[in-house]
Structure formats: C-alpha cells, structure tokens
Amino acid sequence: MTKAIFFPDNKLNAQICSFYNGHSAAVTLDTDTLQLGKYEFAEINLFKYNLQGTVFLSSYYYSEESVLKNLKSTGRLSYGLYFHTDRWMHEGVDAIIPDYYATTWTTEGAALFNVVVGEPKASRFPNHGQQLYDISGGFYGYDLINSITAKMNS
C-alpha cells in the first residue's frame, strides 16, 4: 500500500477516498485537459462502453460554462482540478517556473536556483515539492523526505 504524504496542516482538507461507485480499481486515459475537439470522442466511448470519465479543468485551457453544464448533464463525466506542475506563484505573479521547458539553464533560472548558466538539464524540471526544494537549496518547494517547508513558503 502506498503512503500518502500531505503538506503541513492539510489546509485543503484533502482526504483519501474509495474508488468511484465502490469499484476495486481505476483505469485512466487522459487527453490532459478539456479542450474542444478532444473530449467529444472520449464522451462517445464512455457511453459505448458504459464508463465514467473525469475531465480536468484549468483556467489556462477551454472551460466554457455552457459546455461544462451540457457535459455534466449526460452523467458520463465528473470534474477534477488540473494542477499545473509547470507553473508557480512567484512574488505574486502566476508564471511558468523559469527554465521548466528548457534543456539548459539560463540567467533567469540561475538567478533563482543553485545552477550554472548553460549547464544541461532535463526538460520539465524542476517540479513542485522535492525538486524545487533541492534545486533552490531549500528556498522554494517542500522537502517531502524530512517534512520541511521551504523558506519562501514559511
């Protein structure tokens, strides 16, 4: 069994829940977010195979209220929040984490993290939590191993 780790104080009151409708397993197939031209085929197959689907909503992608109401009325789709691992709130600004999609560190990344400009890096790095904590020397993120909140988040 996997251990769930909650951030200090669990301010969102997150809870571990049973599978939908008492099922013993879940299978997910995602197109990432609700977008026109992508969900229609998925909804047809949900009806065809008598499955329940989940749509991840995001303020950065299409989520028009009238479409959401129509989709909900079919009973085939439920909704969840899509957490963008490439974004953060830094100094009150919602932005993509510096150099997240880059393959080398730039001056912007070097100014915030303990890295050298021009050094190679993995794309889609650093993510929230441990990766941000480690790369910033404990200034950003969260140390999941030792349950330590970063200095910037204190």
Contact call for residues 65 and 72 (beta carbons, < 8 A) = no
Write out the two tokens for 112. 């915030």
Contact call for residues 123 and 113 (beta carbons, < 8 A) = no
Contact call for residues 149 and 137 (beta carbons, < 8 A) = no
Q: What is the pTM of this model?
A: 0.58
pLDDT of residue 60: 65
pLDDT of residue 28: 61
Q: Among 82, 97, 92, which residue's Cα sits nearest to residue 131?
A: 97
Residue with tokens 């957490």: 83
**How many other CB atoms are found less than 10 A from the CB of residue 109?**
21
Rounded CA-CA distance 62/90 in Å is: 24
**How many other CB atoms are found less than 10 A from the CB of residue 140?**
23
The ranges of the chain with pLDDT < 70 are 1-12, 14-17, 19-20, 25-36, 58-64, 81-82, 153-154
